[in-house]
Structure 1
Amino acid sequence: MFSVNHVLRVTVCAAPGGSAKPQRAVKVAEKSTVRTRKLPENPKVELATFDLPYITFYYNQKLLVYKIMAEEFATVVEKMKEALAAVLEEFYPLAGRLAQDEEDKVLYVDCEGEGGVEVVEAAAEEVEVAELAVGEAPEELMKELVPYTGVMNLEGLSRPLLAVQFTKLKDGIALGCAFNHAILDGNSTWQFMTSWAQLTRNEPISAHPLHNRSLARPARIPLTLPISPAAHELANPNPIPPSSLIARVFSFPESTILRLKSAANSSLPAETKPFSTFQSLAAHSWRSISRARRLPPDSITIFAVFADCRSRLQTPLPDSYFGNLIQAVFTGTAVHPLLTSPPEFAAGLLQKAIESHDAAAIQSRLEEYEKNPKMFYYTDAGVNCVAVGSSPRFPVYHVDFGFGRPERVRSGKNNKFDGMMFLYPGKDGGKGIDVELTLDATAMDNLEKDGEFLAVGGDDEP
């Protein structure tokens, strides 16, 4: 029986009664600020309607782990910092600060003040690359490697919009990045990372960012933020996720992905549009997670996809548009038909929801928000939700700063709630997909014992 070929274990919050391993401290050696080398022509970038729903989410965290010789660390970091200053000339909103017009309460990025990117240099010289790439990484270690855990996007009013940490490992370097999610989405994140890597390699960037956010939506929306304006202190923080969440990375090789897709499409009538790779894998995950949660047959479960709207707008925008151009697309069903029907039932629900989110649906969602702007919190997802962010199409393993591709790309703790999935391309290349999933500890234990989730048919040996 063919099975998922690797499971990477990450404890997001230790389950009650669990034993803790001795922690190796990450020692901070230096903190500095890297600023753009010239002021932009447009020093004020107003946030668009697409950006505003994420103001009460947390900074989006990514960790990239590379193999290098220990003695190369100082040279590598200095070169990456020089390239960071250069790339900020193109991606200048990341060097700014959030601000709010005192008169009309419109949020914008101030790009001409005393901004810059926070840079931390640290060392964890007892930690090996393999622990972060293929082994178990304790929560406390992850928190020390990736900055801004627990920091909300609206705190960008007083904090940098990008924080970077270089940590020297025993045999490599850990690059932890925290991006303010009200400023950019996943597409823009990896455009920035790719461009930064290209400049570090002394190559020109391959695509210049498009900063005109009025192309996405010209409306100016006042917001009442849950903060004390004088002190910029949170008045109504986003609820903290439960303390029993567990994260795992399940690696689905290309052969398994093809079998899932074949199973979902096997019974479709002729001339019916086939299900995509994403729809097939998402349907498999949705059904498996619902089964692992032991949900009552008549309960409702929701699936949410954060869909890129660049190509869906009435006037499409290119991938180079820098900002947020995503919206959550929802579908749902009772648990009984989800689990008792063949895979094409779930895949069909997902396909219909995604394809119906066209320019008209996007416009309607924007208008609805503009009439009644609101803050969004984890509790809005509901108790039986599965949500997908990131994409296996993002070139995360092409971020080469001159010393090879990452050994592993992972997410930090932020924005992980019960049922949240992040999809990445498989680190070994091909069309494999890594699924980084967070679940309640009990449900995760059930899922890991679920042969139907981990083995999807075929004659290969694990």
Structure 2
Amino acid sequence: MATEEKHLKVEILSKTHVKPQKPLGRKECQLVTFDLPYIAFYYNQKLLIYKGGVEEFESIVEKLKDGLKVVLEEFYQLAGKLDKDNDGVFKVVYDDDMDGVEVVTATVEDAETADLLKEEGTAKLKELLPYNEVLNFEGLHRPLLSIQLTKLKDGLAMGCAFNHAILDGTSTWHFMSSWAEICTGSKSISIQPFLDRTQARNTRVKLDLTPPEQQNGDGATATKPPPLKEKIFKFSESSIDKIKAEVNANPANESTKPFSTFQSLSTHIWHAVTRARQLAPEDYTVFTVFADCRKRVDPPMPESYFGNLIQAIFTVTAAGLLQANPPEFAAALIQKAIESHDAQAIEARNKEWESNPIIFQYKDAGVNCVAVGSSPRFKVYDVDFGFGKPESVRSGANNRFDGMVYLYPAKEGGRGIDVEISLEAGAMENLEKDKEFLVIEE
């Protein structure tokens, strides 16, 4: 923990704004039921660390800005602001006189890429990321995307803060890969964003933002939760295969559908975190996954749908039941929850929320929860702007709580998966020593 106490000495060099290269006029799109629950989450932060390019830092910055001007012609919503119409319905608005995307350049004299790659937690990395603890509804008067480019001793850190009220992980990485395409010589992007989010849902919902502001105000005087500890656990292909084989070892019958890699790894994590927390047998524990609904809604939306098209899927059981049963018990709960979340279930969830809109806070994922976000399917290590692929891709400190899990593909490719977990410190210490979780042979 000692390394986390020493903050990086980051010096801000400049702050500018970038907007689409061509005039686009005024464009509006209302936020829909899939977007609005995240309005009181924090900005979604991603940190990409690159090695090399130090000598050309200034020219790389200009090249990135030039590419951003082009890609924002298609992803112009990121250059806009949140707004509300006369009925109080949130929308995202772009106009040519708006500032656009915020781009900050910075330098840190005392850090190399290797130092940053060793960091397990996010405390030391916070200075490399913009908009720490900034809530999404502040997009009413802030840019919806802020990018900080920090020069390291031997590389570059790209810290991005995306307003989560206007896009999810699939859209985030679609934008990032498209920006990289332009920066590496493409005249246009290969996959256009599908920008009409009202095609997925067109119910107008008026939100009262008083509750989250009051809750945040109350939170300042409330008892602070125990400190979290964060760690990245790297599961190799062979470890993933072993976990999956174990979960699938005893199918209920011949017609039982095999458990997927995601379901198997989720089961492995849920069991281990429950052990690490040392819950009483009667304590409930919730597993939550933020699932992509693009292909689940009716009619299905394209993969290029730009916005939030995710919903939280929950399943719950008692800690004693979870631990007394073999892994296929938890895997079956997760599988059933995911597979039953079809167009009908999504419609019912939307109607229920629209009848009584609840402003969720980022940590409202359930009691003793394990909540999984991001996906190893996101090609995060292919985001190459012309100076190499990233050495590391991380989530920032925003939106972390006890039990939050981010999944990323392994840098080496293949079927390996990096698991980024936040837990209370005592539970994390137990998890770090759990040989079954770590897939270590006795």
TM range (shorter): over 0.9
Label 1:67 to 1:43 Cα distance change in 2 as closer, same or farther (>3 A): same
- Take 1:440 and 1:362, find their aligned partners in 2: how far apart are those partners? 32
Partner of 1:252: 235
1:383 offset after TM fit, Å?
3.7
Q: CA deviation at 1:219?
A: 0.9
Of residues 199-208 and 180-189 in structure 1, the stretch that sits farther from structure 2 once superposed is 199-208
1:160 aligns with 2:160: no
Distance 1:235 1:199 in 2: 43
In 2, Cα distance between equivalents of 1:454 and 1:51: 36
Whether 1:99 and 2:83 are equivalent positions in the alignment is: yes
What displacement does 1:225 show? Answer: 1.3
Write the distance in 2 (CA, Å) between the matches of 1:96 and 1:399.
24
One-letter amino acid of the structure 1 residue matched with residue 350 of structure 2 = L
Are 1:43 and 2:22 an aligned pair?
no
- Show the counterpart of 2:192: 208
Question: Number of residue pairs matched?
Answer: 435
Indicate yes or no: 2:335 matched with 1:356. Answer: no
Structure 1 position 430, deviation (Å): 0.8
Question: How far 1:131 moved relative to its partner?
Answer: 1.7
Paired with 2:160 and 2:27, the residues of 1 have a C-alpha distance of 24
Trace 1:375-414 onto structure 2 (pairs within 5 A): 375-378=359-362, 380-414=364-398
Name 1:108's counterpart in structure 2.
91
Counterpart of 1:451 (choices 415, 435, 441) is: 435
- Residues 214 and 291 of structure 1: is their aligned pair in 2 closer, same or farther, counting only changes over 3 Å? same
* CA displacement, residues 310-344 of structure 1 (integer Å, 9 cap, x when unaligned): 00011111110000000000001011121121111
Q: Counterpart of 1:173?
A: 156
Q: Residues of 2 paired with 1:425 and 1:399: CA distance?
A: 13
Give the CA deviation at 1:356: 0.3
Q: 2: distance between equivalents of 1:256 and 1:339?
A: 21
Q: Deviations over 1:48-76 (max 9, x none)?
A: 11000000000000000011132111111
Q: Does 1:285 align with 2:266?
A: no
Specify every segment of 5 or more residues in structure 1 that has no aligned partner in the other structure, as ranges. Answer: 1-10, 12-17, 228-232
In structure 2, the residue matched to 1:429 is 413
The CA distance in 2 between the partners of 1:45 and 1:214, in whole Å, is 8
How many Å separate the matches in 2 of 1:90 and 1:454? 43
Mapped partners of 2:238, 2:121: distance in 1: 31
CA distance in 1, matches of 2:283, 2:274: 10
SS at match of 1:261: helix
Check conservation: 2:4, 2:124, Cα contact below 8 A. no
> Residue 38 of structure 2 contacts residue 136 of structure 2 at CA under 8 Å; is this kept in 1?
yes
Q: 1:22 to 1:333 in 2, by over 3 A?
A: closer
Relative to structure 1, the CA distance from residue 140 to residue 295 in structure 2 (aligned partners, 3 Å threshold; closer, same or farther) is closer
Partner SS for 1:44: strand
Q: TM-score, normalised by structure 1?
A: 0.91
Give the TM-score normalised by structure 2: 0.95
Tell me the secondary structure at the aligned position of residue 114 of structure 1.
coil
The aligned residue for residue 7 of structure 1 is none
Q: Deviations over 1:247-270 (max 9, x none)?
A: 111010111000111001110022
- Specify the alignment match of 1:438 in structure 2: 422
Which residue in the other structure is 1:15 paired with? none
In the alignment, which residue of structure 1 is the partner of 2:299?
Answer: 315
Partner of 1:271 in structure 2?
255
Could you say which residue in structure 1 is the equivalent of 2:225?
Answer: 242
SS at the partner of 1:416? coil
1:206 Cα deviation from its structure 2 partner: 1.6
- Give CA deviations for 1:429-449 in whole Å, capped at 9, x if unaligned: 111000010000000001001
| Cα deviation, residue 456, structure 1 | 5.5
2: CA distance, partners of 1:284 / 1:140? 27
Distance 1:309 1:257 in 2: 25
Distance 1:263 1:19, change over 3 A: closer
Which has the larger displacement, 21-30 or 292-301? Answer: 21-30
User: Which position in structure 2 is the counterpart of 1:333?
Assistant: 317
Is structure 2 residue 66 aligned with structure 1 residue 82?
Answer: yes
- Please report the RMSD computed on the Cα atoms of aligned residues, expressed in angstroms: 1.8
Post-superposition shift, 1:23?
3.5
Structure 1 stretch 197-206 or stretch 279-288: which is displaced more? 197-206
Q: Which segment drifts farther, 32-41 or 44-53?
A: 32-41
Contact 1:398 1:405 in 2 (8 A): yes
CA deviation after TM superposition for structure 1 residue 202, in Å: 1.2
- Conserved? CA contact 2:103–2:147, under 8 Å: yes
Q: Distance in 2 between matches of 1:273 and 1:154?
A: 42
Cα offset for 1:381? 2.6
CA distance in 1, matches of 2:59, 2:412: 28
- Alpha-carbon contact 2:52-2:387 (below 8 Å) kept: yes
For residue 29 of structure 1, the aligned residue among 3, 8, 13 is 13
Which residue of structure 2 aligns with residue 191 of structure 1? 174
Residue by residue over 1:341-382, the C-alpha shift from the partner in whole angstroms, topping out at 9 and shown as x without a partner, is: 111111110000000000000000011111111111245334
Helix, strand or coil at the partner of 1:32: strand
Cα separation, 1, equivalents of 2:4 and 2:331: 40
